[in-house]
Amino acid sequence: YKSSTTLHRECAAEMYTWCKARGYYRLWAYLYVNWYCPDQWKLWARATDSAEIPTVKTTTIVESHWRTLKHDYLHRFNRLRVDLVVWVLTSRVLPDAVHRMTAISSGQFRIFKARWREAFKKQWRKEACKAVHPDKLKEYHTNAVSWVCSCKSFLHSRFLIC
């Protein structure tokens, strides 16, 4: 296995070569000062611990993070711009993460709720209070295999409640 200093040197050299080949000198200056200098490298790189460098799980945390971002926050967008990603990160992801970490660190594991939970409960209560007429039951045909209902409100319900 490679040592942490070797990994740092190779990663920095790879990024330097990439920036130099494209003429991105200012980008390299920014990357070195904020990411690749030894002091900053220790803050974010997983290869800084010379005693133990995980070779199997090097990208799984990053891939898991991006999967969560794409499926939970960016699922409505295709080919989105970087400024939108930054806005979603700062206005949605970070506040949720801070709230979750605060709840966990204070021992209140059930405090963090999904954003849609209150709307779901409100709609559930509204639908539960409705009276069911025997004549209307003939209109309903619930398919238990594909989990669909033929009632009109099922098509318009955000949470598939009818």
Nearest Cα to Cα of residue 122 among 80, 72, 158: 158
Q: Is residue 162 part of a domain?
A: no
Given this model, what pLDDT does residue 113 score?
A: 65
Give the end of a domain, one of 14, 41, 58: 58
Q: Is residue 122 part of a domain?
A: yes
- Encode pLDDT of 39-52 as tens digits: 888 887 766 666 66
Residue 65: in which H helix or E strand, if any? helix 60-68
Given this model, what pLDDT does residue 30 score?
A: 93
Using a cut of 0.75, tell me whether the model's pTM lies above it.
Answer: no
Given this model, what pLDDT does residue 50 score?
A: 60
More confident residue, 24 or 57: 24
Greatest CA separation for the chain? 76
> What residues make up the domain containing 96?
66-112
21-30, 49-58, 107-116, range with greatest mean pLDDT: 21-30
- Total structural domains within the chain: 3
What percentage of residues in the chain have a pLDDT greater than 90?
21
- The CB density around residue 41, as the number of other CB atoms within 10 Å, is 19
Mean pLDDT of 56-81: 80
- One domain, residues 142 and 126: yes
Which of 75-79, 94-98, 152-156 shows the lowest mean pLDDT across its residues? 152-156
Question: How many angstroms from the chain centroid is the CA of residue 24?
Answer: 30
Mean pLDDT of 128-145: 74
Q: Is residue 96 part of a domain?
A: yes
Tokens representing residue 81 in the block:
């711009």
111 pLDDT band, cuts 50/70/90, is: low
Mean pLDDT of 143-154: 70
Give the end of a domain, one of 78, 97, 112: 112
- CB contact at 8 A, 153 and 145: no
Question: Strands, DSSP E only, in the chain?
Answer: 142-143, 148-149
